[in-house]
Amino acid sequence: MSSEKILIIGGGPAGLEAARSIADLGGDAVLVEKRERLGGTPDSEGYAKLTHHWLDASEVLGKLAAAVTSGKGVDVKTKSEVKKISGSAGSFKVEIDASGKAESLEVGAVVVATGFQHFDPGRATQYYNYYSFPDVITLTDLEKMLKENKVVRPSDGQTPKKIAFIQCVGSRDRQVGNEYCSKVCCGVASKQAVELREQISDSKVFIFYIDMRMYGYWEPQIYWQAQEKYNVNYVKGVISEVLQKGNQLLIRGEDTTMSRPMEVTMDLVVLSVGMEPSAGTRSVAQLLGVQQNKYGFIEAGGATGIDPVGTSQAGIFVAGAASGPSDLDDSFAQGGLAAARALASVRRVIA
């Protein structure tokens, strides 16, 4: 029997936007989120301010989650996961584990919004020593400290005065196997550099980059501000290793503008780790039998080859970072589009 209900897997920015849009369009959705809370990675990793609007992450995600949980049309199941799915477009039979209880659902379409995880810097081919030196941290480690307004060196609790970001860790790297650009890390590092300069006014902040990639309004609202108003130092260079020198960190590499070797000491080093498909994205893709690309992200394109939310299976749509590196604008836009496509598909099947 066909069903007009739509299953959304994942309650991050993309899944929440899909749920809200389905409800706004008069549809009926069930949202399955494996964590106890909605809000996705910005919530689980405790993001502070969001680019490019500089809004508070908890407030933005909180409003979106409230719109979904307080309105009609969306049945939210947290601490829940899809265990089995069978059938085809218009009529899928789904078995879920909802907070430890087995439940069965009939749905007409599925939106996958299971997102990404951060690259594990222990896997990098470069010698950045994330797991050996406490003062080598990642963007997400720093984001949590910025949110608390308490940026310190993990080794001794002192306020760092010289801080370096190393860009493209785990992205644009053939040896690691991730040749793609993770899209947000240049913007996020620049945003964090501004916040560092605001929170530690006598700090010196350096960003070592291959090339800076800013999109649309991120350029004037983050990059120019960081340089012109906050005196963040951008250095075009490749860092090959990070070593301990006394109680500081020695960064070694090449200044590619000057074509000369470079060695500088820092108090804190921040690795701009990129995006990889989350474990949930990989396992849900297998469960649903949708095509993945060589990196493990769900292949978007659909029947036309250019549909940003279509997958290799009719009736199954993808939104946000489950299909590749995405910022919030991408994730919201794709969540809304996936909602419209999913709703159109079930209504066509039923008619």
Ligand X SMILES: Cc1cc2nc3c(=O)[nH]c(=O)nc-3n(C[C@H](O)[C@H](O)[C@H](O)COP(=O)(O)OP(=O)(O)OC[C@H]3O[C@@H](n4cnc5c(N)ncnc54)[C@H](O)[C@@H]3O)c2cc1C
Contacts with ligand SF4, residue ranges (CB under 6 A): 167-168, 171-172, 181-183, 185-186, 213, 272, 274
| Angle between helix 139-147 and 185-199 (nearest 10) | 40
Alpha-carbon separation of residue 179 from 77, 131, 155, 168, 351 (angstroms): 36, 24, 33, 10, 44
- Contacted entry of ligand X, ligand SF4, none for residue 3, CB cut-off 5 to 8 Å set by kind: none
Shortest approach of ligand SF4 to residue 181 CB, angstroms? 3
Q: Which residues pair with 268 in a beta bridge?
A: 163
Alpha-carbon separation of residue 160 from 235, 248, 346, 348 (angstroms): 19, 10, 55, 59
Shortest approach of ligand SF4 to residue 242 CB, angstroms? 17
- Contacted entry of ligand SF4, ligand X, none for residue 186, CB cut-off 5 to 8 Å set by kind: ligand SF4
Please compute Rg for the chain using Cα positions.
22
Shortest approach of ligand X to residue 127 CB, angstroms? 22
DSSP state of 216: T
CB closer to ligand SF4, 167 vs 345: 167
CB closer to ligand SF4, 78 vs 140: 140
- Contacted entry of ligand SF4, ligand X, none for residue 327, CB cut-off 5 to 8 Å set by kind: ligand X
Shortest approach of ligand SF4 to residue 1 CB, angstroms? 47
> What residues line the site for ligand X (CB under 6 A)?
9-15, 32-35, 40-42, 47, 50-51, 81, 113-116, 118, 139-140, 143, 184, 188, 278, 280, 283-284, 320-322, 326-328, 331
Shortest approach of ligand SF4 to residue 273 CB, angstroms? 9
The CA angle 143-144-145, to the nearest 5 degrees, is 90
Which helix (H) or strand (E) segment is 346 a member of? helix 328-350
Helices (H), 166-274: 185-199, 218, 225-228
How far apart, in Å, do the first and last CA atoms of the chain sit?
A: 13
- Contacted entry of ligand SF4, ligand X, none for residue 222, CB cut-off 5 to 8 Å set by kind: none
